[in-house]
Amino acid sequence: MGLTNRQYDMLRYNYDTRRRQARFGADRRTDEIYDKIPEIKAIDDRIRTDSIRRARLAISGDKSALEGLDESNAALTLQKEALLESHGFPKDYMQPRYECPVCQDTGYVNGSPCDCYKRALTELVYNDSNLAGILKEQNFGNFNYDLFSDSPETIDKTTDMTPRRNIETVVAQARHFIEVFDEQFNNLLIYGNTGVGKTFLCSCIAKELLDTSHSVVYYTAYKFFRLLENDKFHSADIEEDVPGPDYLIDCDLLILDDLGTELTNSYIGSALYSVLNERALKKHSTVISTNLSLHDLNTRYSERVFSRLNKDYIFLKITGEDIRCL
């Protein structure tokens, strides 16, 4: 699991807030009860003073001072509960009401993450990925191989396979990328004509990794470079919840969809290189999809971008017709 610092801080903040609110609510209800049922305040005062008195004795060497304390407190608690019920209140009325009683809103049970924490984490990484919603449709479970032709006349010259045979190979490689994601630093460059299913495959990869609580960030190239430019030129204006460049470097997987559709300027090339380079240095994987041929990639971006791709990326070509029209 790879949380960015920002995600971790946000999650901790949410849990701290929940816990504080639960305790604040309990304090408020306690004040109300002390007001309405003074006998309960008297019992609580007795529990407190008795505990302090016994603790003082224990500190000064009286080994028997704490004997029977638990039993005596338990008996007084029962009295309190009976009083609450006789006044028409539930017996746990003065207790904090945690959203998750299992971990009492700490997120942990015996040092391990609580189920509620894992759910909150998955929700957070989904929302941060820019993919919430899309992934219900676009995942391996909905991958339709029948959309890819298997007839011999559709064999592609570069892959020497039918689109169907080819996509099976590509999906197997994508699945392998996911399987070894935590152990191996790999990157994918998925290329092919418009509409052959590159974005769909990116979504499938994103979903698998999000479901195992990895931080995944998805951007179309157009939005990605606009974000970088905004951050560079108007850093004060950037929307607060848009992940800034640190996030782009630190997330477990960055998906850059449709590279080549962005507007070109001198800044784009160097920004692309610096993100790919920083991520490679930190061994954080990147998946890029593009309509550009390898030749066009080479001429459009700088030599150092192309050599970075060549060195670190597994090239996956998807062949076939525009399946969006079928």
| Residues forming the site for Zn ion (CB under 5 A) | 100, 102-103, 114, 116
Residue (114 or 167) nearer to Zn ion, CB:
114
CA distance 66 to 53: 10
In order of 37, 124, 128, 273, 282, the CA distances from 131 in angstroms are 53, 11, 8, 24, 24
Could you identify the residue written with the tokens 């008996």? 75
Contacts of 143 (CB under 8 A, 6+ apart): 171, 200, 204
Residue (116 or 131) nearer to Zn ion, CB:
116
We find the least distance from the C-beta atom of residue 89 to Zn ion, in angstroms, to be 26
We find the least distance from the C-beta atom of residue 94 to Zn ion, in angstroms, to be 22
CA distance 259 to 279: 17
Residue (108 or 185) nearer to Zn ion, CB:
108
We find the least distance from the C-beta atom of residue 23 to Zn ion, in angstroms, to be 16
CA distance 105 to 95: 14
We find the least distance from the C-beta atom of residue 18 to Zn ion, in angstroms, to be 10
CA-based diameter of the chain, in Å? 94
Residue (116 or 316) nearer to Zn ion, CB:
116
In order of 54, 131, 164, 187, 309, the CA distances from 199 in angstroms are 68, 12, 17, 16, 19
CA distance 224 to 256: 7
Residue (121 or 189) nearer to Zn ion, CB:
121
Task: Answer whether 47's CB lies under 8 Å from 80's CB.
Answer: no
Residue (15 or 200) nearer to Zn ion, CB:
15
We find the least distance from the C-beta atom of residue 119 to Zn ion, in angstroms, to be 9
CA distance 260 to 262: 6
Specify burial of residue 97 (Cβ count, 10 A radius: 0-12, 13-18, 19+).
Answer: middle
We find the least distance from the C-beta atom of residue 138 to Zn ion, in angstroms, to be 31
Residue (42 or 102) nearer to Zn ion, CB:
102
We find the least distance from the C-beta atom of residue 7 to Zn ion, in angstroms, to be 18
Residue (28 or 119) nearer to Zn ion, CB:
119
We find the least distance from the C-beta atom of residue 101 to Zn ion, in angstroms, to be 8
Specify burial of residue 249 (Cβ count, 10 A radius: 0-12, 13-18, 19+).
Answer: middle
